[in-house]
Amino acid sequence: MMKSRWKRRLAGCWLAAALAGCASVNTTQSGVVGVNRSQSMLLSSQQVEQLSARGYAQQLSQARAAGVLNADPALKARVNRVAQRLIAQTPVFRPDAARWKWEVNVLKKDEPNAYAMAGGKIMVYSGLVTQLKLTDAELAAVVGHEIAHALREHSRESMSQAYAQQMGLSLVGALAGLQQSQLDLAALVGDVALSKPHSRTMESEADIIGLELMARAGYDPNAAVKVWQKMQAAGNGGGAEFLSTHPSGATRIRDLQARIPQVWPLYQAAAAGKGRG
Ligand SMILES: [Zn+2]
């Protein structure tokens, strides 16, 4: 059966709503950066978190078996320290994040990469820090960006879109008298949560929420601009996955720069607080 354009259009959330109930939600509070786009969700947070937790555990056990999990205790401690300062700020965007089972791990791999899966499962590749020679503030910019994807449940949103599309195609098949195919959720997770790039809208939400998180945690938000400039320079030579799913261009850097005045008072307040302590 041909996957023609009109069939894909049929597979929108309105169709899914008729079949299974599609919720329009806003996963986070807007913060000073003002992210308030409502999101169409077909899958529940619990479904996606369970699948993510399973996928994360699998990656940890594979890394452990290969001897590449948290192989450098000093790096692991450093990444953890930065991540914990950011995690402490997440309730500003969603109070329930304070109860998430956050995990932070470092995979020894010479590739710049990092991700945070649904429910707060963070992974940083050693190559991100060593190859790009990141400062703590630059590391906070990348980890903050990934935490923001998790807070906004972008994977749940992408998976819901993919699921609705599959469901729509199945319905078209059923109407045509063909047998309805099984929807493979697990395959969707692997596909969407780990390898597919997020939309540009999602990327820019993660950029500005991440910027606010790092400022509130007392990291100079200008480091976010620096780190994307470093990525841009590194991207010219390599084919790393993170760089391909996170294109660092002039627009991204300019948008971040434009947001710095908005979060600057938060950074100053946090830095002053640290000075007192
Ligand atoms: Zn991203």
**209-265 confidence digits (pLDDT tens):** 999 999 999 999 999 999 999 998 887 556 678 888 888 788 999 999 999 999 999
The first and second tokens of residue 63, run together, are 């890394």
CA angle 65, 56, 102 (to 5 degrees): 120
Report how far residue 122's alpha carbon sits from residue 61's, in angstroms, rounded to the nearest whole number: 15
pLDDT value at position 2? Answer: 44
Query: How many angstroms does the Cα of residue 146 sit away from the middle of ligand 1?
Result: 6
Secondary element (H or E) of residue 103: strand 103-107
Query: What does pTM read for this prediction?
Result: 0.86
List the chain residues with pLDDT less than 70.
1-21, 168-195, 236-239, 275-277
Report how far residue 209's alpha carbon sits from residue 60's, in angstroms, rounded to the nearest whole number: 27
Q: What is residue 133's three-state secondary structure?
A: coil
Query: How many angstroms does the Cα of residue 221 sit away from the middle of ligand 1?
Result: 17
Q: Is 111 a catalytic residue?
A: no
Given the DSSP bridges, would you call strands 103-107 and 121-125 parallel, antiparallel or unpaired? Answer: parallel
